[in-house]
Chain A
């Protein structure tokens, strides 16, 4: 079991550029979650998918943020255009169906927007 895989581990970009973060959930997991972590706001849930369908995106901060899950093994979080306040660590997590199933997190992508 390779765990949840996120790429890239680090991303540095200039304000206004498009940024795409990638996530490969654990095989067999049917729920996927995108979180953002900053010192000020802690760990925030941005959006989550069940069976590739977005269920709740109320945590997505602005229209500049979008997420897709084209299949069960891949998801992207895109920021266009990026701004310095988007600088944070972005985590992807997955789990099997069921409220007692634990979340498995990736190691995160540290995004710096200059």
Chain B
């Protein structure tokens, strides 16, 4: 199974950076790492993905460990609208796009 491990919850103050970790120690060489987030009463939405190199987009940055066994989603300045459940998943030939329980991010003033 395409297992990833994330902390159940994290807290952050508004306007501060947030680092959300994900472990995927059994990742294979062709698996991509995808991050999604789910706001209340909505479906999950795509945030960012990567294979080996660090990636940046308008929403976030993704830092991938050199051995690819872990990654970190970075929100540079958290806002109240970033409060959501964040999911890290693997995608590849043997991965069935299985979502775990994710990390619930709370952002406070």
Residue positions of A touching B, CB distance < 8 A? 4, 33, 35, 42-45, 48, 56, 59, 91, 93, 99-100, 102-108
Residue positions of B touching A, CB distance < 8 A? 30-32, 34, 36, 42-46, 49, 51, 87, 91-93, 95-102
Q: How many A-B residue pairs have CB under 8 A?
A: 51
Q: Which of B42, B92, B98 contacts A45 (CB 8 A)?
A: B98
Residue pair B101, A103 in contact (C-beta under 8 Å): no
Q: How far is the CA of A102 from the CA of B97 in the complex (A)?
A: 10
Some 16 contacts from A to B, beta carbons below 8 A apart, are A4-B43, A42-B101, A42-B102, A43-B44, A45-B96, A48-B96, A91-B44, A99-B30, A99-B95, A100-B51, A100-B91, A102-B49, A105-B43, A107-B42, A108-B42, A108-B43
Q: Which of B49, B96, B100 contacts A56 (CB 8 A)?
A: B96
Q: How far is the CA of A56 from the CA of B45 in the complex (A)?
A: 23
Q: Which 4 A-B pairs have the closest CB atoms?
A: A105-B43, A102-B46, A43-B99, A99-B91
Inside 8 A of B98's CB, which chain A residues have their CB?
Answer: 45
A42-B101, A45-B99 known; A91 vs B32 contact (CB < 8 Å): no
Q: How far is the CA of A10 from the CA of B43 in the complex (A)?
A: 14
Instruction: Provide the main secondary structure of the chain A interface.
Output: strand
Q: How far is the CA of A67 from the CA of B93 in the complex (A)?
A: 22
Q: How far is the CA of A45 from the CA of B95 in the complex (A)?
A: 11
Output the least CB separation between A111 and chain B (Å). Answer: 15
Q: How far is the CA of A59 from the CA of B99 in the complex (A)?
A: 12
Inside 8 A of A100's CB, which chain B residues have their CB?
Answer: 32, 49, 51, 91
Residue pair A99, B31 in contact (C-beta under 8 Å): yes
Inside 8 A of A42's CB, which chain B residues have their CB?
Answer: 99-102
A93-B43, A108-B43 known; A103 vs B36 contact (CB < 8 Å): yes
Inside 8 A of B91's CB, which chain A residues have their CB?
Answer: 99-100
Residue pair B49, A106 in contact (C-beta under 8 Å): no
Q: Which of A43, A44, A91, A102 contacts B87 (CB 8 A)?
A: A43
Output the least CB separation between B107 and chain A (Å). Answer: 22
Inside 8 A of B96's CB, which chain A residues have their CB?
Answer: 45, 48, 56, 59
